[in-house]
Structure 1
Amino acid sequence: MSLNGAFSEMFTPQKRSASDASYFSGFSSFFSTGNGNFSSMPYKKALTLTAVFNAIEQISNDIAKIPFSVNRKVGNNRESQPNHPAHRLISYAPNSLMTTFIFRKTMAISLLTRGNALAKIVYDSIGNPIETIFIDWGKVTGIRVKNGEKVFDVTGYGTLLASEVLHWMHFTLDGIVGVAPITYGAQQLGLAIEVQTYSATNFANKGVRQGVVESDKTITKGKDQIIAGVKKAFSEKDPTRVAVLDEGMKWKAITITPQELQIIETAKFTVEEIARIFNIAPHKIKSLTQSTDNNIEQQSLDHQSDTIQPYVTNIEQEYAIKLFTKKEIENGYYVRGNMNVLLRADIKSRAEYYSKAINAGWKNRQEVRQLEDDNDGPEFLNEFLTPVNTFTEQQLNANIQNTLKNTKDGNSTK
């Protein structure tokens, strides 16, 4: 199926004769279902593009290194819940084979390349979650909705209910199945691969391309032998290869056309297109053409808020819905991913963030020490600072009353 045809089919409402018909029906040739039937852009082929590989590497690393924790809102306070069974799964040990970094990185790579990431939740005898096991999306053969719940048909696992799995989705048109960025960018990525292949072929040929053999004489016999001889000479891998032409024959190469030269020049433009496909700042995939010392800091902040934050929110909500009971959610339990960790490598930005937080009074110095994994300092560090030129209405009224009182007392003394 052509890309245009797939788009047309995807945007055409699909009729399902039964409530448990697979949502893969009619879409398997369009998005990466993992069953090998799709034709738009195999993700492994897309990964041969360094910009695609680096974009996926950058985003998956950022998602993986963010610490997630179980917390509970109690009144106006937030309390960490390290003893909750889910805390172990999301903070340091999701299963016996992976750390949380590797688990989330693997899930993120699947999300970015396949549009979906899946993990089976294993429970103990009393219903507490004890493991989350990654499932290769290629094993998913169908997704159905039955009795108001998603049902996954998975090779080797049988039928899994949505409540039994973590399912992260990328861009989705129906809220059931995600579609990978690679799929929608298939045409542009296909062009990039063609440019890459074209450039590699020319490099391998040492610049020798198609050409013709010219002669002042009319050649009636032996043309095949001449062609075979030239091909043999130019196909040798020896860099000193030489072709000898008899009887005044001349080799004339067919030079590169302006159109072909323009194709090669599109390689730089392709990096920007890939950045758009993955919604990542170009400098994050090592393209500094439009980056300067003045704007790269802002681009880094944009990367956190526009690229990484949506993934974190998605993961937080999926963790909470699947790992907490309904009662726990009602009692204020939630999962939080600490985005501040992305500032660790940037000492200047981290220092400015902490300074503003302390001086504005919405964090105290003890909390900042804890964020830096330092031991607690003296007790007075628990106090919140207030800018001397900033007062609440209550403080202003109190200051006015004190001033009036002092003035009155002074007059009385005189």
Structure 2
Amino acid sequence: MGILKLFGGDRLSAAEDAQRDAADHRFFEDHGGATSEIDVHVSVSRARKVPVVRNCLSLLAGSVAGLENGVFRRVGEDRVERRVDHPVAKLLRNPNPRQTGFDFIYQMVDDLCAEGDFYAEKVFEGGEVVALWRMEPHRVVVEELADLRERRYRFRDRWGRERILLADEVWHIALPPLMDDLKGTSPILVDGREAVAVAIALQRYANTLFKNDATPAYAFSMEGHFADAESKENWTRSMLRRLTGRRRHQPMALEYGMKPHRLGLTAEEAQFLETRKELWLDLARLWRVPPHKVGILDRATFSNIEHQSLEFVTDTLRPILELIERSVGKFLLDLPDEYFEFNVESLLRGDIKARYEAYSIARQWGWMSVNDVLRMEHRNGIGPAGDRYMEPLNMVPVGAGAEERKPEQREAIDKSIAFLRGSVGGKKGKPRLELVKNAA
């Protein structure tokens, strides 16, 4: 039940009004969401207060937002050029006066992974989109026009003003599978509602337990019995004063041969270690996040963490990246030979030794140049000389013989001899020059 019903935003029926209970915590829950089978209200804002949920959402959003991206155009069959000055590339780098490109994409992924939908209003100028403004998903109602098979969006802003936007005025990305072919599926409110509800219930129970100092209850045994019920009641009240509140750690004297017996949870049980761990795994599975990313390192080793990091890119991030890339291509780009792409190479890079070994192999086999390597390391090139590609001497194109290679080899040797003649002089330089001639 939403708090807005108190102010007439969504009026209660007469039956609901008669049955409502102001002492029920659900009466004051956040607007929206749904109630689970264990009678816990689940909303996106409440789910964010569960640490592992917040960790998964921030991990996914930050990982995608930090990736380099751009608009590319296919030039021929085997060549691609980056369009740095493309209007869409500029738009995603600076979507609106308030947000940077990082902020905008971070919020986009967060909305997709939490709400299941991302909405942005397009601002046009001269027929081109010049700005994108995010629309809060829970404030948007998607409607389908039956006659035209088109969508429209009813948006109520935080000041209560309602506007209706057509499909061309809104950039909408929906997380599959779609509900009624209109909206995406929220991992929190739909697929993971019960798991999130258990996490909320466990968190609430733990808070109540530790609010009372997590002190287990006690039972007292005695050989005799109290004289009457009033004496028993007085003794019980006295024990409650000593066992609760600020006096609960003070010493006490027991009479009548009483012996205390401690009941309840041990320190380990009070922390719900095993329950929390299994619950964290279930929540991480909602977004296919590897366990070590949410702090579960019980079975983690160096080798399997490296493998899981690769799986995080290919199995977890790649579907989200593909979803955004295809949406940009369909709704923002015009030409069929243009496309938008994220660069995930920074997430797949190994340690410095592995990278340099890979560069060495690529350089020796002739499919990367020095400038290509430096570009991969985000360093400046060394000029035109760095664009040359090497070819192994023991590898030649099919059908080419040694005679076809001699002119190029002779030209290179002649240039070396000419260089030595111009730079080496005197008697001391002659043996070195003769050595080069003999080698030629």
TM, length-normalised to structure 2: 0.72
The reply to whether residue 181 of structure 1 matches residue 177 of structure 2 is: no
Please list the CA deviations of residues 83-110 of structure 1 after superposition, one character each: whole Å capped at 9, or x if unmatched: 22111112x2111111111111112111
8 Å contact kept, 1:120–1:164: yes
Other-structure match for 1:308: 317
Tell me the amino acid that sits aligned with residue 136 of structure 2: D
Pairing partner for 2:216 from 204, 209, 214:
209
CA shift, 1:316, in A, is 0.9
Tell me the amino acid that sits aligned with residue 198 of structure 2: L
Give, in whole Å, the separation in 1 of the partners of 2:315 and 2:326.
18
Give, in whole Å, the separation in 1 of the partners of 2:350 and 2:399.
45
Give, in whole Å, the separation in 2 of the partners of 1:399 and 1:290.
57
Give, in whole Å, the separation in 2 of the partners of 1:342 and 1:51.
22
Other-structure match for 2:132: 132
CA shift, 1:350, in A, is 4.4
Please list the CA deviations of residues 203-225 of structure 1 after superposition, one character each: whole Å capped at 9, or x if unmatched: 44344223444443144225554
Query: Root-mean-square deviation (CA), in Å?
Result: 3.2
Structure 1 residues 81, 278: closer, same or farther in 2, change over 3 A? same
5+ residue gaps in structure 2? 2-29, 37-41, 406-440
CA shift, 1:78, in A, is 1.0
Tell me the amino acid that sits aligned with residue 310 of structure 1: P
Structure 1 residues 402, 85: closer, same or farther in 2, change over 3 A? closer
Give, in whole Å, the separation in 1 of the partners of 2:192 and 2:165.
31
8 Å contact kept, 2:95–2:104: yes
Identity %: 27
CA shift, 1:180, in A, is 2.1
Other-structure match for 1:268: 277
8 Å contact kept, 1:171–1:180: no
CA shift, 1:281, in A, is 1.1
The reply to whether residue 36 of structure 1 matches residue 32 of structure 2 is: yes
Tell me the amino acid that sits aligned with residue 78 of structure 1: V
The reply to whether residue 290 of structure 1 matches residue 299 of structure 2 is: yes
**Structure of higher CA gyration radius:** 2
Please list the CA deviations of residues 2-41 of structure 1 after superposition, one character each: whole Å capped at 9, or x if unmatched: xxxxxxxxxxxxxxxxxxxxxxxxxxxxxxxx96152342
Tell me the amino acid that sits aligned with residue 280 of structure 1: V
The reply to whether residue 153 of structure 1 matches residue 154 of structure 2 is: yes
Give, in whole Å, the separation in 1 of the partners of 2:135 and 2:324.
16
Other-structure match for 1:230: 239
Give, in whole Å, the separation in 1 of the partners of 2:58 and 2:357.
28
Tell me the amino acid that sits aligned with residue 38 of structure 1: A
Tell me the amino acid that sits aligned with residue 191 of structure 1: V
Structure 1 residues 243, 189: closer, same or farther in 2, change over 3 A? farther
* Higher mean C-alpha displacement, 79-88 vs 161-170: 161-170
Other-structure match for 2:14: none
Other-structure match for 2:58: 57
* Higher mean C-alpha displacement, 169-178 vs 332-341: 169-178
TM, length-normalised to structure 1: 0.76
8 Å contact kept, 2:154–2:165: yes
Pairing partner for 2:84 from 75, 82, 85:
82
Give, in whole Å, the separation in 1 of the partners of 2:173 and 2:253.
63
Other-structure match for 1:379: 384
Please list the CA deviations of residues 333-363 of structure 1 after superposition, one character each: whole Å capped at 9, or x if unmatched: 1111111232468545544554454445444
Structure 1 residues 287, 349: closer, same or farther in 2, change over 3 A? farther
Structure 1 residues 83, 173: closer, same or farther in 2, change over 3 A? closer
Structure 1 residues 111, 234: closer, same or farther in 2, change over 3 A? farther
